[in-house]
Structures are given as structure tokens and as C-alpha cells.
Structure 1
Amino acid sequence: MLPARNKHITIASLSKNFLLLKSLLLWLAPLILAGCGTSDSSSKSMFTIPAKDHAVYEQLLAEPETKIRYIKSFDLTTLACREVWPENPDDVRSILVFIHGTATQSRLYLPLADTLKKNNIATVLLDLRGHGLSGGERGDVPSIDALVRDVRITLDSIRNAYPGKKIILGGHSLGAGLCLKFVEFFSSRKKLYTPPDAMILMSGGFLMSKDCDSSEASRLRDYQNGRSFAKIDAMDIALYFPAGYFGIHPKSIEVLLPTEDSAVARAVKQGLFTTKYSVQFFLASFPFEPRLTYRKLKFPVLLVAGKQDELMRTCDAIYSYEKLHEPNKELFLVSEANHTNIIWLSAGAIAEWINGLETEMDSN
């Protein structure tokens, strides 16, 4: 029989680990069931670079650095933010703070920022710790609350630097999941939580629908045949919880990139990607209870999805839109967009939506 105190600690630890395991399975299950996770090193990347997009990637590699803001996080890790402002900053009313997806960094989102700039909207592109110009160990986090604390500190820093501006929080893919996790974690901590004025979830952060059009399921199945999002080491994942007690986080998930493309190969050579991740990083990125979190979104929300997305189903985006309790909500489905080029193909519509919000605020 365990002493009462130790018994309490053990039960609490098991409960916490069950919640973490549930969250992990919620994230990994769609990847594994869809064929997106593999232990086969010969699998091709889920992603491809259409010929029409190649010039965009080449331009991004040649793009000079924009204004960089460096922020010290709670553990003194340096967070880098690319800032893109219109010519007359005093006329700017809204700032989009945007979080990138898995493997990449803020540089990929400059086309979005450039479009918003032309529409008198400022953009702050955050490099997550371990990515881009930010500090921190590549592909890992020291704790499950590290990323949401980074986001809160970033938002507070931008608010303090630019008082009076509306702050919109947005994210792409994993970054969208992190936006939701930020709300999940801090909304009950009233003294620490200042909600954003609006939120944009792009190609991620969607609830899974049980009912999906068979033609879409067939499209994804046919495309994903022989392809994978990541190479997963099942043994390392099984060892996550026991190893975690000793502060060891094996990087058991390796994102597969389309390195047959010359621009991607050059970016990999230049160290612009982060591809190897610990389980802990993904647990730190996604909400434990996404459905409950949706009920806490009490501000305007824009969902953006591509009809040619290699990973996400548009039926999930539609279902998520229907489940939003917030009346001020919008869904954009972009016909020709895949998981990546939606960043620039949806930029004009996003700018229009943000400017529409500003008009609504004027009339209220």
C-alpha cells in the first residue's frame, strides 16, 4: 500500500499522463490512419511544389531581412518576430500576429504580410522557439506550457509596443492549433489572459467531422498513397512518458520534405527548416480539448482552408465553422490552394476580412 501522499501523487500523475496521451493520439491518429505517419524511410513527402509556385520559393530565399523584433520569453529564450508595416504606420489600426506551421519559419509567410501591407495592415510573424531566428532547442520544448507562454509574452510585447492597435492572432497548420491551445490554457487564468480582438485559423485548428464527402476522402486517399507527412519512430513514442520523467525527449517524429525540389533542397542546406521533433513539442502545440476550446472563442473568427490541401479535409473546416458559437465568423474555401500555397492565395481575402472588421468596429 502506498502512503497517502505518494498515492495521491501517483494518481494525479497517471491522470495527467492519460490526458497527454489522449491529446497525442488525437493528433497522431489522423496522420496514421491517413497514411501520413510511417516508419518507412523510402516514403515520399506529403508535400509537392507545383511549378507555378516555384518562383515564390526562389523569391523567398532571396528576400532580404525585414525588421526583426527580439523578445525575451519566460525562460530567457530569445523569440524573433519579423515585422512588416505599411508606409504610414500611424494609419495602421490592426496588427496580425501570425504563427507558422511545422518544419518551417516566419520567412515563408512574407507573401501574406506583403499583401496585408498593401491593405494598410501590419503583420508580426513569430518564429517559434527552435525555429528560424529564435533561440531554443530545435524541435523540442522544456515544458508543455512553453509555447503558449511564448505566445502570451509575444502578444503582450506587441500590445505594449503599439498601444491602441487591434491585435489579431492567427496561425497556419500547427500554428493554428497553437492559437487554440493559447485560448485553452489562458482563458481560465483571467489575470494573465487578454484575448485577441480576432483569430484566423488557416489549414489547421479544425475539429474532425465524422461525416465527410466520399469524393473528398477518395481524393486524399489517392493522393496520399505512397506519401507521408512524417517518419515516426513508434518505439521512441512508447518511451515518451518514462523518458520524460528524466527530462529526456527523444525526437521521434521527422517531417518529410520534398527535397527533390531545388528550392527546398537549398533551404534545407541553409538550415531554414526544423524537421526533427519530440512528442513533447506537439503536445505543447495542440489543445487537449479542442471542442471545449471552440466554445471559448468569443471574438470574430476566420477559418481558411484549401480545396487541394494534402493534409486537411474541407469537410472538417465546414464542420468547425458550424460548431463555432461566435456569431461573427467566416469561412473561406480556396479552390486551387494546397496546404502551403494557401498562405499567399488567400492573402487578399484575409486583408478584405480584416478591413471589414475595422469597418464593423467603426459602426458599433
Structure 2
Amino acid sequence: MAELTPPAAPVPLLFPWGDMPEEEYFKSKKLKNEREWVKTPRGISVFTQSWVPLEHAPEALIFMVHGYGNDSSWVFQNTAILFTQMGYATFALDLEGHGQSDGLKGFMPNLDNVVLDCSFVFNRVKQRPEFHKLPCFLYGESLGGAICLLLHFQEPQNYDGAILMAPMCKISEKMAPPWPVRQILTFIAHWLPTWPIVPTKDLVDQSVKDPVKREIARNNPRRYAGKPRLGTVLELLRVTARLSEKLKDVSFPFLVIHGDADVVTDPAVSKFLYENASSEDKTLKLYEGMQHSLIQGETDDNVAIILSDLRAWLKAHVEQKAVLSGNKNSD
């Protein structure tokens, strides 16, 4: 009688916080994590999170916007925790069609509505008495960087600056469908906007350099890993085309960071943003050989370089805001 083959062992789910329970992990980082579903004015429920230091009052607020296919948990929240350890309170939401928010997974039919959702959630936080006079900064990764710029255009005086990580101000031609396919898909999308058929390369493989971090990113249980939906791709093309024409109107302080080996979003567009924005206070950091996912995808040595630059930029701008506020109070 043939021997029975034992069942294969299940593939372990790699957690960004290791083997420690998540609540215990937050305590070890000396922060408080709160989660809430918020109903926006247009009637959809969005999942929101905050990470606030426990041992001291925050020096500033950072409002974070994740990228396409991602969510505010898993590896993205590790970046939030890094900001909290620098002394800031951080806040984020899952965008429509992502994570635990309402909507068909991976479907974003109107990014203008998504911007309104972000604005509502962030302004709701700013109105809390304990945060009333603190400096406020935006942080966006990839599509989140584009949304940060759209938030700035909507409310130019509402934020004291932004950190834009490989912002999707234009979809890279290396990732977009070729011209004949694009025209065909545009025609089909009018009838089948939710159809997940757009051919594209795996974003995790294209984004994350470190092999261990790549597997952690791939294990995200709420990541949208399907093919892009027709309506979403058309909306991203529409908004990034509009955005690329308005980069000259960016007027607030910003730090734009990009790896020069990024094939998901174009580092040349970040350079164009830096050169053409009307902001007097602007900084560009291009990192040689780095890819799309920077803080949660590069090697530890590279991440240390990036975090040093982020820390210095934020510290300088928080201190500058404090000085300006002091001058206003003395007046």
C-alpha cells in the first residue's frame, strides 16, 4: 500500500511587527493606537486610525495617505509609528475601495470624492481641542502623494507642508498599457468600469527591493492584488494628467523623495515638480539605485538614510512654525 503523503505545512503569515501581538507591539513603542469607522458627508464609511505618543504631547500632526492597492495598516502603519517616535501624532484612513473602507476593492471611480473624504477626516482631527494649534503636515506615498497635492489645491492654507514619497503625479509609461491597448480599454470601460482586466506587472515585485520585506508586503491580507479595474485606471490617468499640468501651482513647503530606479512612478516628474512649483521652500531628494517603496521596501541601510532626511526636514519645519507662531502671539 502506498504511503500517504502528509499535508503540506501552511505558509506562515509574515507580520510586520513580528511574533508579538499587535496591541503589545504598540505598547512597546510607547504609543496609543485608536481605530474608528467614520461616515463621510457623501455617505460612505471609511476606516481611520491614529498613532499618538503616550509619554509626551505631540509636537505636530501628520496626516498620511497610502498608495493604490495598499491600506493604512500592515507595513504602512510602521511608517506612522516611526513618525510617532519622532514626537508627532499621526493619522490615516483607508481610501475608498481599499482596506476596511466601503467600496468595491480596487475600484476608485472618482478621485475628487476620495480627496473630499480625506479632507473631512483630517479636518475632523484638527478640530479636536488638544490638537488645535499644532502644525499640520501631509505625508503621501505614490497615489497618496498625488492626493496630498490635490488636498493642497483644495485648501491651500490648511497644511504647513508635505512629504511626498515617489508621488504619482504621472503614471510611468513603463507601467501604463501600450497605446493601442489603452484606446481599446478606454472604449470598453464605459460599459464595464469595474472589470479587473488591465494588464500590468506585479506592483510588489516592481516596488520592494528587500526580499524579506517583499514577502511581508505580499502577505498583507487586505492588499488589493488583482488586476487594475478599467474605471480606476482611466480615473488615475485623468487625474494625473490634470495634476501634471498644475504642478507649477504648488505653493506650500514640501520635501519630495524618489528613488532613481523607480519604474512605477517617474522620478523625472518629481524633478519637474521641484523645478516648476512656485513654493519658495522646496526640497528634492533623489536616491541612487532605490526603487518605489522606500521606507518599507529598501534595505535597512537605505532606510536609515531616508529617515535621517525626513527627521531633519520635519524638525526644521516644526521649529520654524513654532517661531512664527510665537511672533504672531507677541504681536
Same-fold status (TM-score > 0.5): yes
1:294 alignment partner in structure 2:
247
Conservation of the 8 A alpha-carbon contact between 1:97 and 1:123: yes
Task: Specify the code of the residue in structure 2 equivalent to 1:300.
Answer: P
**Matches of 1:233 and 1:291 in 2, distance apart?**
19
Q: CA RMSD in A?
A: 3.6
Seq. identity, %: 19
1:52 alignment partner in structure 2:
none
Partner deviation per Cα, 1:82-128 (whole Å, 9 max, x = no partner) = 32222245x21311111112222223223322222221112213221
- Residue 166 of structure 1: which of 135, 153, 173 is its match? 135
**Matches of 1:356 and 1:312 in 2, distance apart?**
28
- Residue 318 of structure 1: which of 253, 271, 280 is its match? 271
Q: Which has the higher contact order (CA 8 A, sep 6+)?
A: 1
Segments of structure 2 that go 5 or more residues without pairing to the other structure are: 1-13, 24-32, 297-302, 325-331
Spell out the pairing of 1:230-309 with structure 2 (5 A cutoff): 238=184, 240=186, 243-244=189-190, 248-253=193-198, 256=202, 257-258=204-205, 271-275=221-225, 276-285=227-236, 286-309=239-262
**Matches of 2:265 and 2:222 in 1, distance apart?**
24
Distance verdict in 2 for CA 1:278–1:236, change over 3 Å: farther
Aligned length: 282
Please state if 1:101 is matched with 2:52.
Answer: no
Conservation of the 8 A alpha-carbon contact between 2:165 and 2:256: yes
- Residue 64 of structure 1: which of 17, 22, 36 is its match? 22
Distance verdict in 2 for CA 1:290–1:78, change over 3 Å: same
Partner-residue secondary structure (3-state), 1:274: coil
- Residue 148 of structure 2: which of 176, 179, 182 is its match? 179
Conservation of the 8 A alpha-carbon contact between 1:305 and 1:342: no
Distance verdict in 2 for CA 1:316–1:159, change over 3 Å: same
Distance verdict in 2 for CA 1:127–1:255, change over 3 Å: farther
Distance verdict in 2 for CA 1:355–1:284, change over 3 Å: farther
- Between 1:299-308 and 1:268-277, the stretch displaced more is 268-277
Segments of structure 1 that go 5 or more residues without pairing to the other structure are: 1-56, 188-192, 209-219
Partner deviation per Cα, 1:267-319 (whole Å, 9 max, x = no partner) = 65663211333243345453443244323322111111123434345444333
TM-score by length of 2: 0.71
Please state if 1:81 is matched with 2:48.
Answer: yes
Conservation of the 8 A alpha-carbon contact between 1:180 and 1:293: no
**Matches of 1:141 and 1:313 in 2, distance apart?**
22
Distance verdict in 2 for CA 1:97–1:231, change over 3 Å: same
Please state if 1:358 is matched with 2:318.
Answer: yes
TM-score by length of 1: 0.65
